[in-house]
Amino acid sequence: MDEVFGEENFFSLITVRKTGGLGSAGLTGISDFVVWYAKSIDSVKYRNLLQHKVNMGTASQYSYALLSSGETISASKLTTAQSDAKIFQPTAVHTMFAGVQSCLYPTFQANGKTFRLPVNRQWSTTLPNMMRVGKAGRLYTGGSTPRFIRFLDDHPVTELNNLWTDVMGAQDVIYVVQTNPRIVQRCLLMTTDPGDLVLDPTCGSGTTAYVAEQWGRRWVTIDTSRVALALARARIMGARYPYYLLSDSLGGQKKEAELTRTATSGTPTYGRIRQGFVYERVPHITLKSIANNAEIDVIWEKFQETLEPLRARLNAAMGTHWEEWEVPRDADESWPQPAIDAHKQWWEQRIARQKEIDASIAAKADYEFLYDKPFDDKKIVRVAGPFTVESLSPHRTPGVGEDGELIDGIHDARGVHHDGRYEFGDTVLKHLEYAGVQQAHKEDKIDFTSLAPYPGEAICAEGRYTEGVDDEAEERRAGIFIGPEFGTVSRADLVEAAREAAEAAFDVLISCAFSYDAQASDLAKLGRVAILKARMNADLHMADDLKNTGKGNLFVVFGEPDFDVLDADDDELQVKINGVDVFHPQTGEVRSDGPEGIACWFIDTNYNEESFFVRHAYFLGANDPYKSLKTTLKAEINADAWETLHSDTSRPFPKPETGRIAVKVINHLGDEVMKVFRV
């Protein structure tokens, strides 16, 4: 990693404890590691994550408790009946001598005691500010030196460090190497903001995409396994997420005003996720923030106008000279009634003063965001936004030695290695001969009676199969075109092969490839020669290992979508799906299969000829997809809303700015085909 990013861009090494290690003769490993590098250490994005001190076990330093009566006891002696007690830690109010003259006053008084400055020390703040801390009730004077009362609630969190011991074990495991979502969540929240793009080049069960979708991040994930992609797609589409309040929304503005005790912002809102969420926050109250809060003096003076006369009445009734810190919390039954009344009123005002001072301290203090705790709207259940699954052409990188020499044979577009060790075309033809070509229906399968090499430029084999049944059966000739092992078939490739098939009087051209570009998908016929585009299963890359796996659907033809573009009101358009055009080898006809053969279909209403974006999605099929959707989401689905999705006719949409729309259809076998239509 140092060679890739540079050792100067190393950021952190995170140790993650796991549930256990595999058996070994040596020391058992119970940890994994997250290695964190930045592209540039000077511009790294880092969002500090915070955890509650109680959960992290660091609250043990807060060993005192302040009861509602004003009494201080050990926190270990608290009972359940004293739930209103406030846990605190007494900390020093003097520091090492630093030459700050305003903090060198020799003594100060608090609660009737005089405290002297220790040798070679200075007070933490000036004398007026220290007196203000005392007015706020934040000085602990029970010992020989004064101490600042730091409540656990003043800053109830601590920073997350690089030792994670609380994320052991994956949850709802559906994949062999599935990562605990909490690990991915922490990494994502520490390094990104809502709207940022997250890349995971090893998809697996889709944990990264799942977590990114939950937290409002855009994502791209990649995998070579069809199983992994299928699991990830089902996991994301079947998940339910909380709906977090956006800062750029009316609800978010109201919540922000409530939290900050300010007026609601009148700024127009647009629902932009890049503005972030409304997060929970925790105060960060310090000695400095209290000492500099001049509002405490105002509150103190206001209440003194009421408290001092009440204390004078109490002393007169009791014949005492109690100072404020000497007034007992509870009155004795033997006291005269005027003393009891004055005592009650005095404590009511005393408590009210403390509450107002505490509120001022909280409002004036700094606070920190809890990036893992945004506020959510409990009335809204969110599902995944639209995403697309793109099939890119496979690629291969030749192996090289330490001196740059090739140690792996290079192949041409047809898969012929220059060293003669292997030819991809031979593998395809071998499996094509016994597997045949499967179409949408099992009965519509092309089984070859013979398959022999053919010396053509584009066509490499001649296949013969029987068309029709019984006495009407006729033998047909098919030209076989094989696309590259690591590449995509273009329209020009198909046109060249179809022309060669026509010149050689083939009845049909069967193209076998891993992927086709969008323009090639439109080409179904050239002259009299029908073109069947068979998609090869990625398992063919396994070559000889396939002999133990059975035939499967190694070559599948899924026909062209049959749809009509209709005019709608307000100069808009609609798409009506009629089915899929399927070639039937028994009759040699191309006819439309009905909508019942379609599992789902999607529309990109503004196709840019590069990527297909799902802007409309509809679900058909005969197996009650409404019930399946309710089962997957574990929730009741609005029947009227579902009817807008369970349709063979789309909702109206504006005419595309690009001049093109694209329709993608998926059958019940999971095969898909796309057709582009110019508007």
Centre a 10 Å sphere on the Cβ of residue 440 and count the other Cβ atoms it contains: 20
Counting residues of the chain whose pLDDT is more than 70, the rounded percentage is 84
* Residue 639 banded pLDDT, cuts 50, 70, 90: confident
Residue 18, Cβ density class (10 Å: 0-12 exposed, 13-18 middle, ≥19 buried): middle
Minimum mean pLDDT range among 71-75, 346-350, 574-578, 603-607: 71-75
Minimum mean pLDDT range among 9-13, 111-115, 537-541: 537-541
Using the predicted structure, report yes or no on whether residue 462 has a pLDDT greater than 80. yes
Q: CB of 610 within 8 A of CB of 584?
A: no
* Residue 376 banded pLDDT, cuts 50, 70, 90: very high
Using the predicted structure, report yes or no on whether residue 422 has a pLDDT greater than 70. no
Using the predicted structure, report yes or no on whether residue 542 has a pLDDT greater than 90. no
What are the structure tokens assigned to 529, written together? Answer: 């020669």
- Helical segments of 154-199, H only: 181-191
3-state secondary structure of 148: strand
What pLDDT sits at residue 548?
47
What pLDDT sits at residue 665?
86
Using the predicted structure, report yes or no on whether residue 278 has a pLDDT greater than 90. yes
Using the predicted structure, report yes or no on whether residue 118 has a pLDDT greater than 50. yes
Please, what sign has the CA dihedral across residues 211, 260, 126, 144? negative
Dist. CA 654–CA 572, nearest whole Å: 5
- Note the pLDDT tens digit of each residue in 395-417: 555 566 667 666 655 444 444 44
Counting residues of the chain whose pLDDT is more than 90, the rounded percentage is 44
Enumerate the domain spans of the chain. Answer: 55-159, 287-321+328-364, 399-557, 558-679
What pLDDT sits at residue 635?
66
| 408 against 242, higher pLDDT | 242
State CA 412 to chain mean position distance: 41
Q: CB of 584 within 8 A of CB of 591?
A: yes
Helix axes 181-191, 207-214, angle to 10 degrees: 50
What is the side-by-side order of every strand in the sheet holding 10-17?
Answer: 31-37, 10-17, 163-164
CA distances from 206 to 182, 194, 521, 537, 639 (A): 14, 19, 29, 22, 30
What pLDDT sits at residue 412?
45
Topology (CATH) of 558-679: Immunoglobulin-like (2.60.40)
3-state secondary structure of 427: helix
Minimum mean pLDDT range among 119-123, 258-262, 311-315, 364-368: 258-262
What pLDDT sits at residue 414?
43
What pLDDT sits at residue 670?
64
What pLDDT sits at residue 292?
94
* N-to-C CA span, the chain: 50
What pLDDT sits at residue 221?
94
3-state secondary structure of 86: strand
Neighbouring residues of 56: CB distance < 8 A, sequence distance ≥ 6: 158
Which amino acid does the sequence have at 198? V
State CA 504 to chain mean position distance: 55
Q: CB of 288 within 8 A of CB of 126?
A: no
* Residue 29 banded pLDDT, cuts 50, 70, 90: confident
Average pLDDT in the 50-72 region?
79
Which residues sit opposite 164 in a β-bridge? 16
What pLDDT sits at residue 609?
77
Using the predicted structure, report yes or no on whether residue 486 has a pLDDT greater than 80. no
Pairing status of strand 589-593 against strand 572-584: antiparallel
CA distances from 664 to 70, 226, 608, 672 (A): 72, 19, 14, 7
Which amino acid does the sequence have at 270? Y
What pLDDT sits at residue 425?
82
CATH classification number, 399-557, choose in 3.30.70, 1.10.3470, 3.40.1350, 1.20.272: 3.40.1350
| 506 against 665, higher pLDDT | 506
* pTM recorded for the entire structure: 0.65
DSSP-derived secondary structure for 580-619: EEEEETTTTEEEEEPGGGEEEEEEETT--SS----SEEEE
- Note the pLDDT tens digit of each residue in 602-619: 999 998 877 788 889 888
Residue 577, Cβ density class (10 Å: 0-12 exposed, 13-18 middle, ≥19 buried): buried
What pLDDT sits at residue 419?
42
Q: CB of 75 within 8 A of CB of 151?
A: no
Each as own residue / partner, the long-range contacts of residues 262-269 (CB below 8 Å, 24 or more positions apart, any chain) are none
- Helical segments of 37-113, H only: 53-56
Centre a 10 Å sphere on the Cβ of residue 306 and count the other Cβ atoms it contains: 16
* Residue 533 banded pLDDT, cuts 50, 70, 90: confident
| 49 against 596, higher pLDDT | 49
Dist. CA 399–CA 343, nearest whole Å: 90
Using the predicted structure, report yes or no on whether residue 394 has a pLDDT greater than 60. no
Minimum mean pLDDT range among 345-349, 475-479, 627-631: 627-631
Mean per-residue pLDDT of the chain: 84
Dist. CA 27–CA 20, nearest whole Å: 12
3-state secondary structure of 260: helix
Q: CB of 630 within 8 A of CB of 646?
A: no
Average pLDDT in the 253-261 region?
88
